[in-house]
C-alpha cells in the first residue's frame, strides 16, 4: 500500500472510514515500507471508531520505523497486553502519544506487570474516558474531610513515569459538575519510583476548590511548569503545590481567584510566598478588582507577570527591582489614573516592558494631570502610541494636552 513513499515522515490517516485494525496491520506488515516515518495519525479511524487492541500485532507498526509521535484522538482502546508492551516499548523510538478524547474500554492482561517506556517524553490524556478500575469519576464531585489517604499509581500506568510533559485536561468528561476537594490533609501521591515529569497541564476541569495538603512519595519533584487554566478555581491551598520549590512557570489564567482574595486574602498570598524560583506567572482573566501590595515580595526572580483582562483599577504591588522583570502586562483592565500604578512601575527594572494598553485612562481633568505627566516622561518602557484616553479615544501625545493642562499648573510640563 505504501510503495514509493520512502521519504514520507508524516502519515495522516485520520478520518479514514473504511479502515479497521486488521487492515492497518496488514498495510504496515512489510518492514521495508515507510522507513522514515516519524508521525502517525490514526485519529477517528473507522465508521464507528473501531477498537484498537494494544498487542503484539498492533506494535508491529513501530518495528523498523522511527515513529516518534502517535496520534490516536477519539480512539477506542479495547485491550492492552502489558507483556507485549513491555517486550517492545524500550526498543522503539516513540516519544509522544496524543490520546485526546479516546475511550479506554481496556481489558488489561497481566496488570501486575510494570511497564517502563524510557523514550516516551509527552503524553496527552485530554478528555480520555478511563475505566473505573483506574478512576471512578462518580465519587469525585465533592470529596471532603479525609486525612492520611494515599493515591497509588496503577502499575499498568507506570509507562508514563518517564514522560517529561503530561497533559490531563477535561478530566472525567462524563462528569461535568463542579469538583471540590475540601479539608483533605496528609494526602500522599505514590508512584513507586521517581517521576521525570517537568511540565503538567490540567485545564477545563471545573475544579473549584483544592483544599488539599499534598506530599509526594519522593521528596524532590522535577515539575517546573504547571498550567491550571479555565477551571473555575476559587480556592487553592498552597500546600497542594508540593512542587513549589522547583516551579518556574505557573499559569492560573481564566479562573475565579478573585473570590479567594475577597474571602481568604492571607491564604492567597501564601500561594505565592514560597515560589522562590518562579520566573513566569499568568493570572490573566481572574476578575481581580484589587491585589495585596505585598503579593509578590518573595518572587525575586520573576521575569514575566501577566495580569491582563482583569478588573484592576490600579496596580499597587511591590516588585523587587532586582527581579530582572522583562514584561508586566496590565492590558485590558479598568485603570483610570496611574498615580498608584506609576509608583509600582517606577520600582521595576528599567528594561522591562509594561503593557497598559486597552485601559480607560482618564486625561481630561486637572486631577489627571499628574498621571499623564508621569506617563509622558517616565523612563519605563511603555508603547505610548497604543494608549488611548477614555474620553473620545484620543491618543496620548504631548501636544494634545498642552492647552488642556496649562490652566491646571503653573508650568507647562506637556509642551509640544
Residue 282: how many CB atoms within 10 A of its CB?
20
- SS3 call for 201: strand
Query: What is the chain's percent helix, strand, coil content, to nearest 5?
Result: 20, 25, 60
Residues 98, 166: contact at Cβ < 8 Å? no
Top-confidence residue, 23 or 149 = 149
Least confident of 68-77, 121-130, 142-151, 377-386: 377-386
Residues 311, 332: contact at Cβ < 8 Å? no
First-residue to last-residue Cα distance in the chain: 74
Least confident of 80-84, 200-204, 342-346: 342-346
Q: Give the residues across from 98 on adjacent strands.
A: 71, 124
* Per-residue b or e along 229-244, where b marks 16 or more CB atoms closer than 10 Å to that residue's CB: bebbbbbbbbbbbbbb
Top-confidence residue, 166 or 368 = 166
Grid coordinates given for 312: 484592576
Give pTM, 2 decimals.
0.89
Q: In angstroms, rounded to a whole number, what is the distance separating the alpha carbons of residues 133 and 405?
A: 72
Q: Which CATH class name applies to 276-416?
A: alpha beta
Top-confidence residue, 331 or 21 = 331
Position 415 scores a pLDDT of 35
- SS3 call for 342: helix
Q: In angstroms, rounded to a whole number, what is the distance separating the alpha carbons of residues 214 and 149?
A: 10
Model confidence at 53, pLDDT cuts 50, 70, 90, reads confident
Top-confidence residue, 59 or 238 = 238
Position 135 scores a pLDDT of 67
Q: In angstroms, rounded to a whole number, what is the distance separating the alpha carbons of residues 392 and 367?
A: 18
Least confident of 44-58, 82-96, 300-314: 44-58
Model confidence at 414, pLDDT cuts 50, 70, 90, reads very low
Domain ranges of the chain: 1-120, 276-416
Position 164 scores a pLDDT of 94
pLDDT, tens digit, 9 for 90 and up, residues 170-191: 988 777 788 999 999 998 888 8
Model confidence at 272, pLDDT cuts 50, 70, 90, reads very high
Helix (H) / strand (E) containing 405: helix 402-405
Position 19 scores a pLDDT of 63
C-alpha distances (whole Å) from 247 to each of 103, 153, 243, 291, 312 are 32, 23, 6, 22, 26
Is the pLDDT score of 416 beyond 60?
no
Amino acid at each position: 500500500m505504501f510503495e514509493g513513499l520512502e521519504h514520507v515522515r508524516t502519515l495522516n490517516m485520520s478520518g479514514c472510514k473504511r479502515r479497521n485494525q486488521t487492515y492497518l496491520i496488514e498495510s504496515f506488515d512489510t518492514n521495508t515500507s515507510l522507513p522514515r516515518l516519524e508521525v502517525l495519525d490514526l485519529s477517528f479511524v473507522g465508521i464507528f471508531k473501531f477498537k484498537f487492541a494494544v498487542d503484539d500485532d498492533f506494535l508491529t507498526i513501530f518495528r523498523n520505523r522511527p515513529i516518534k509521535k502517535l496520534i490516536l484522538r477519539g480512539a477506542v482502546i479495547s485491550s492492552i497486553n502489558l507483556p507485549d508492551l513491555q517486550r517492545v516499548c524500550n526498543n522503539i523510538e516513540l516519544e509522544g502519544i496524543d490520546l485526546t478524547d479516546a475511550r479506554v474500554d481496556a481489558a488489561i492482561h497481566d496488570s501486575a506487570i510494570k511497564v517502563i517506556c524510557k523514550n516516551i517524553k509527552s503524553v496527552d490524556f485530554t478528555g480520555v474516558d478511563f475505566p473505573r478500575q483506574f478512576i471512578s469519576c462518580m465519587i469525585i464531585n465533592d470529596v471532603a474531610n479525609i486525612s492520611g489517604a494515599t493515591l497509588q499509581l496503577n502499575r499498568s500506568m507506570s509507562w508514563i513515569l518517564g514522560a517529561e510533559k503530561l497533559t490531563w485536561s477535561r478530566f472525567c468528561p462524563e462528569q461535568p459538575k463542579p469538583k471540590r476537594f475540601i479539608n483533605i490533609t496528609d494526602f500522599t501521591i505514590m508512584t513507586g519510583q521517581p517521576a521525570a515529569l517537568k511540565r503538567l497541564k490540567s485545564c477545563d476541569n471545573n475544579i473549584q476548590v483544592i483544599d488539599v495538603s499534598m506530599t509526594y512519595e519522593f521528596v524532590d519533584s522535577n515539575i517546573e511548569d504547571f498550567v491550571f487554566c479555565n477551571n473555575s478555581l476559587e480556592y487553592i491551598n498552597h500546600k497542594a503545590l508540593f512542587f513549589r520549590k522547583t516551579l518556574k512557570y505557573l499559569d492560573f489564567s481564566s479562573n475565579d481567584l478573585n473570590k479567594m482574595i475577597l474571602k481568604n486574602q492571607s491564604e492567597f498570598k501564601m500561594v505565592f510566598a514560597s515560589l522562590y524560583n518562579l520566573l513566569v506567572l499568568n493570572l490573566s482573566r481572574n476578575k481581580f478588582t484589587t491585589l495585596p501590595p505585598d503579593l509578590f515580595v518573595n518572587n525575586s526572580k520573576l521575569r514575566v507577570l501577566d495580569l491582563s483582562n482583569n478588573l484592576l483599577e490600579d496596580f499597587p504591588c511591590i516588585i523587587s527591582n532586582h527581579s530582572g522583570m522583562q514584561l508586566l502586562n496590565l492590558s485590558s483592565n479598568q485603570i483610570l489614573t496611574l498615580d498608584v500604578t506609576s509608583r509600582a512601575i517606577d520600582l521595576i527594572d528599567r528594561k522591562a516592558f509594561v503593557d497598559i494598553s486597552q485601559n480607560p485612562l482618564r486625561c481630561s481633568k486637572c486631577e489627571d494631570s499628574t498621571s499623564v505627566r508621569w506617563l509622558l516622561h517616565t523612563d519605563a518602557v511603555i508603547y505610548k502610541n497604543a494608549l488611548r484616553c477614555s474620553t473620545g479615544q484620543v491618543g496620548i501625545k504631548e501636544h494634545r494636552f498642552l492647552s488642556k493642562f496649562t490652566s491646571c499648573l503653573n508650568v507647562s510640563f506637556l509642551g509640544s
